[in-house]
Amino acid sequence: MLSNQPEFQKLLLLHSRDRRQQKLKRDLEQSPLEQNRIQKQIDVEKESVALALSEWKELEAKNNTLENEIIALTDKIARLKHQQLEVKKNEEYRALDNEIVTVGSSQSLLEDEQLEILMKIDDARKTAEIAKSKITLKIEELEKSLLSCKDHCLELTADILKLDDEISKARDEVEPSIISSYERTKTVITKPPYVTPVVDQKCSGCNLRVSNDVVSSILVERKITQCDQCGRIVYIER
């Protein structure tokens, strides 16, 4: 048939609505995958914030432990000094003196360690805060995309339903014999289009040359014709 035959134009309308709906259905099928992908990204970002925070928290815990150890040693030194006041013998006094020095040097080692930890805490806190604010923004963006993906899903579903209606209206307009050819073609052809023009004696669906019989069936007999290579319904633009 020729593209300007009114009966054929009705088929072309049905075909274009069919294809539009198929595309929307494919998009709708992809949507859960896309939503999954975004959700995974959100989880990864959240984990990296948690990681930055936990490094900082670990250092804080370490600092608390050191702080308690230092306080315990301060108490111990105070106790030893108190004991010193009560001893009578010189050697006992000196022994306590030695112990005070030993405990004091352990304490200053711990204080050095604490100083290092405090500097690390400062860095870790800054890193965690930067990570948190940056990643929070990123998570917000991702959550927005997730929402709009879900909205798009709803729109697609509504459009698909609307097209159901438009397709059945368009189908009612097409001659029954043309409809049955069209339906048969749809069961054979896995990849749309199902209706396609012949250009330079080549089917634009499979890109192969069609026979002269096909061309004459379209041009002369002007009847519904299928490509003798792929089976698609073929027509010529007029």
Residue 159: exposed, middle, or buried by beta-carbon count in 10 A (0-12, 13-18, 19+)? Answer: middle
In the bound state with Zn ion, the residue whose beta carbon lies nearer, of 24 and 230, is 230
Taking residues 189 to 228 in sequence order and writing x for each that binds Zn ion by CB under 5 A, - otherwise, the string is: --------------x-xx--------------------x-
User: Using CB under 5 A, which of 38, 135, 214, 230 touches Zn ion?
Assistant: 230
Taking residue 196's Cβ as centre, other Cβ atoms within 10 Å add up to: 19
In the bound state with Zn ion, the residue whose beta carbon lies nearer, of 13 and 206, is 206
CA distances in angstroms from 108 to 48, 74, 100, listed in the order given: 36, 10, 12
Query: Which of helix, strand or coil describes residue 97?
Result: helix
In the region spanning residues 73 to 132, those forming contacts with Zn ion, defined by CB under 5 A, are none
Work out how close the CB of 236 gets to Zn ion at its nearest, in angstroms, rounded to a whole number.
14
The CA-CA-CA angle for residues 36, 38, 42, to 5°, reads 115
Work out how close the CB of 18 gets to Zn ion at its nearest, in angstroms, rounded to a whole number.
18
In the bound state with Zn ion, the residue whose beta carbon lies nearer, of 156 and 227, is 227
Tokens of 26: 């494919």
The CA-CA-CA angle for residues 63, 68, 69, to 5°, reads 95
Work out how close the CB of 167 gets to Zn ion at its nearest, in angstroms, rounded to a whole number.
24
- The residue range among 11-19, 28-36, 144-152, 229-237 that interacts with Zn ion, by the rule CB under 5 A, is 229-237
In the bound state with Zn ion, the residue whose beta carbon lies nearer, of 84 and 229, is 229
Work out how close the CB of 227 gets to Zn ion at its nearest, in angstroms, rounded to a whole number.
3
Work out how close the CB of 230 gets to Zn ion at its nearest, in angstroms, rounded to a whole number.
3
In the bound state with Zn ion, the residue whose beta carbon lies nearer, of 131 and 227, is 227
Work out how close the CB of 4 gets to Zn ion at its nearest, in angstroms, rounded to a whole number.
21
In the bound state with Zn ion, the residue whose beta carbon lies nearer, of 31 and 229, is 229
Residue 229 interacts with Zn ion (CB under 5 A): yes or no: yes
Q: Which residues in the chain belong to E strands, given as ranges?
A: 195-199, 202-203, 225-226, 233-235
* Positive or negative torsion for Cα 125, 130, 133, 137: negative
Tokens of 224: 């519904």
**Cα(120)–Cα(59) distance, integer angstroms:** 7
Binding residues for Zn ion (CB under 5 A):
203, 205-206, 227, 229-230, 232
